[in-house]
Amino acid sequence: MIKLVSFATLTAVVVVLFLGIDGLYFEPSPGSFLSEDDPELMAFSRVAREFGDTGTVMVVLNSSGLSLEKLKEVTQKIDGLDWVNTVASVFDAVELGKLNLLTLQIPKTEYVYQSGEKLVLNMDILNDPFYRDLIISSDGEYYGVLITVASGNEFKSGSNILSLKATLKELGINEYRLIGESVANSTTFRSIMDLTFVYPPFIFLAIFTVYMVKFRRISLALLTLVPPAGAAVLVVGIMGLIKTQINSLTVMIPSFIVIIGSAYGMHFLSRFQENCAKQENPIRRTIHEERVPILFSALTTMAGFSSYILLDMRAFRDMGILVCVGIFSSAVFTLIILPGLVSTKWCASVVLTASPVEISPKIRKALMWVIVVMSAISPLLIMTIPMNIDQYAFFKENSEIRRNAEKMKEAFGWLTNYTLMITPKGGGKLAITGEQASQLVDFQKELEALEGISKVLSPVDISRQTNIPLPLLIRVLDNTGVLGSATSLMISQRAMRINLFSPTSDSLSAEKLKDSVKELIARYPLLKPDTEPGGLFRTNTPFAFHDLQKRKIHFYRHYTYRADHSFQLHLHGPIQNKPEHLNGPYFRDAHGFGDRLRDTLHHMAPKIRRSRESLSSDGGCHIHQRIEPNRRLLRSFTDPTASVRGCCQIDGERTGGGDDIHSDSPPGDSGEAMEKRQTAR
């Protein structure tokens, strides 16, 4: 009966393994340590949804000996990989000119140009702060190919990097360096595979060798490994059934179970040897004597690992639960399986090991004091251990990935890039007021001065370079994509991204940088942190171009009041060059005024009319826009709060002709002040 129970248990374990084996999957990314509702992970997901990418991979190539024609072929091949979102290289680098006010186009000159049959790189690119240390090193010695990983491929780092290496090899590129989170995840993935399939046999061999010294019999040394091996197989099957990730932490679960659980078999078989020489029924006697010590030993070990269950990190919780299950299963299997595998026939050949060697009292006392002293000072020593995590520090100092990281830092000055995403409060299309743009410019200056920041990349840099006001620039970038692949690094229809490049890659530096950015944001009233922390921040009032309650006009600087009770307002905003009549809600400009413009003008009408007749209140308004390139327009364009001048006209009740009355008003002029000036005139 005992043998039947033993073999039935082993059969059940194998069945569980086969049922769950299809559910096993590997997850090397750091995200596996976080719960699904973790703010950092949610922030990462939101950035991925908005910009369509989930991280970057940098390919560093030595410029000496590499022709631009070959680099272009490399860039095109990489761009064709199915997991790639965008690829930025020197072929995307352009020198921007001044905005064409008629077409709203920014002239550009590519840094790579054709000279005869050869491609030539204009070395003025080294003086362009936007591209320097991004896609080319400051000394021009290295090219950088910046790859963004398409959303949905963040969990395929292993296959992604393998396909990238295969592509480079196919093109004959043998000298290159890869760096990025996906590269670190890919290297971690290979380590996980080694821990899963390569190292366990060595662990078994080491334990087997120790127990061979103990029992001096191959059969008994092997039997000690049967219960923990069965428990490990059972837990692996359970992991597959409940879809538990195999990551850099949970991959150690089988090893923990085998190392800890093998001691239970050793105790059982040692007692069995003793009972063979003294008892008539050694198997039952051994079960009776060892069941309580083995089970309580398992419970105390489980108590230690169960502390992981209280942690917020998912990987630790999984490990705590599954190791506890494995240790308890190992203890139970020792009492169920081993009795059916041993035989009383072995008792005739049992050779008891020699009694333990006696240690002198002086040595025992000295060892006791050493243990007491070490226990007393251990808390102080523990406090000196740095609580820091670096994704590259997991690997050996002479490993390829560590060497690549050092070269990346040396050549480009950064190793990690962080994202600060700015979105309109309440959602909607991205639009920025002049006041917000001014604060963003100052905000970026302070970002660049922060410790741990080597480079900041955002639309503010382009605005500085071209003298194009940031609100207008955002619209132009969104509509034209003048920067090519680099556009997606900075802007989408609903968000703007500020890229922070740092030479550090450890968790302490990242936390310090995050706190510094939050403190900086708190000093700017129009920038307000999102309710979800983790690197996402929103502008506070992106669509508040005017305050309807206070009746302030923030978006026009010149208006014309007509004596026929109609009035004409000249707006400074990027108006489309289409001389056509549009209904108010569909008025097209950089900020999408639409309904608000119409409502505001009707609301302001009673304040600026000069007679009892009122404007039509049926809501029907016709907006006519035109482009008037003139000297005043060109002068006003140098003002960061101004851009292209257009014309909007609302027709009210006409009671007769009259002379036009003109007036200039600064932004924010109230209706009452406007009425006083009109009356005075």
Task: Note whether 523 and 601 are same-domain residues.
Answer: no
What's the start-to-end Cα distance of the chain, in Å?
113
Find the CATH number of the domain harbouring 13: 1.20.1640.10
* pLDDT number for residue 638: 34
- 154 located within any domain: yes
Task: Note whether 625 and 529 are same-domain residues.
Answer: no
Check residues 348 and 513 and name the one with the higher pLDDT: 513
Structure tokens at 445: 């200056």
Per-residue HEC secondary structure of 597-617 comes to: HHHHHHHHHHHHCCCCCCCCC
* pLDDT number for residue 246: 86
* pLDDT number for residue 227: 94
Distance in angstroms (rounded) separating the CA atoms of residues 269 and 217:
11
Range of the domain at 175: 52-185
- Which of 331, 349, 367 is the last residue before a domain boundary? 349
Structure tokens at 589: 């400009």
What mean pLDDT is reported for the chain?
76
Task: Note whether 230 and 163 are same-domain residues.
Answer: no
- The region that residue 234 occupies, defined by phi over 0 for left and psi between -120 and 50 for alpha, beta otherwise, is alpha
Pairing of strands 527-529, 496-502: unpaired
**Confidence (pTM):** 0.67
- 369 located within any domain: no
Q: For 44-73, write each residue's pLDDT tens digit.
A: 888 888 888 888 999 999 999 899 999 999
Radius of gyration over every alpha carbon of the chain, rounded to an integer in angstroms: 36
Confidence of residue 247 (pLDDT cuts 50, 70, 90): confident
- 469 located within any domain: yes
Check residues 601 and 649 and name the one with the higher pLDDT: 601
Residue 241 clears pLDDT 90, i.e. is over it:
yes
Sequence letter at residue 489: L
- CA atoms within 13 Å, Cβ hemisphere of 412: 33
User: 290: helix, coil or strand?
Assistant: helix
Task: Note whether 337 and 213 are same-domain residues.
Answer: yes
Check residues 238 and 548 and name the one with the higher pLDDT: 238
Distances (CA, A) of 38 to 33, 55, 154, 533: 10, 18, 17, 10
Q: For 104-118, write each residue's pLDDT tens digit.
A: 677 889 999 999 889
Residue 589 clears pLDDT 70, i.e. is over it:
no
Task: Note whether 128 and 104 are same-domain residues.
Answer: yes
Find the angle CA(94)-CA(97)-CA(103) to the nearest 5 degrees. 110
Give the range among 135-149, 224-238, 460-474, 534-548 with minimum mean pLDDT. Answer: 534-548
Residue 459 clears pLDDT 60, i.e. is over it:
yes
Task: Note whether 569 and 520 are same-domain residues.
Answer: no
Give the range among 140-149, 308-317, 606-615 with minimum mean pLDDT. Answer: 606-615
Residue 443 clears pLDDT 70, i.e. is over it:
yes
* pLDDT number for residue 208: 92
Task: Note whether 329 and 263 are same-domain residues.
Answer: yes
Of 77, 58, 80, 78, nearest to 143 (Cα)?
A: 58
- 56 located within any domain: yes
Structure tokens at 388: 């820091």
Task: Provide the number of structural domains found in the chain.
Answer: 4
Task: Note whether 22 and 128 are same-domain residues.
Answer: no
Confidence of residue 321 (pLDDT cuts 50, 70, 90): very high
Check residues 142 and 196 and name the one with the higher pLDDT: 142
- 333 located within any domain: yes
- 250 located within any domain: yes
Residue 353 clears pLDDT 60, i.e. is over it:
no
Say which residue the tokens 């963003």 belong to.
Answer: 440
Give the residue ranges of DSSP H helices in 171-281.
Answer: 181-193, 199-215, 218-223, 226-241, 253-278
- 357 located within any domain: no
Give the range among 98-112, 236-250, 298-312, 476-490 with minimum mean pLDDT. Answer: 476-490
Residue 502 clears pLDDT 90, i.e. is over it:
yes
Residue 328 clears pLDDT 60, i.e. is over it:
yes
- Which of 334, 349, 364 is the last residue before a domain boundary? 349
- Which of 349, 380, 395 is the last residue before a domain boundary? 349
Task: Note whether 63 and 168 are same-domain residues.
Answer: yes
Element (H, E) at 248: none
Give the range among 155-159, 550-554, 665-669 with minimum mean pLDDT. Answer: 550-554
Residue 637 clears pLDDT 80, i.e. is over it:
no
- 635 located within any domain: yes
Of 197-201, 292-296, 579-583, 655-659, which has the strongest mean pLDDT? 292-296
Mean pLDDT, residues 409-434 taken together: 87
Find the CATH number of the domain harbouring 104: 3.30.70
Task: Note whether 250 and 223 are same-domain residues.
Answer: yes
Q: For 260-310, write each residue's pLDDT tens digit.
A: 999 999 999 988 888 887 767 888 889 999 999 999 999 999 999 999 988
Task: Note whether 73 and 7 are same-domain residues.
Answer: no
Task: Note whether 211 and 239 are same-domain residues.
Answer: yes
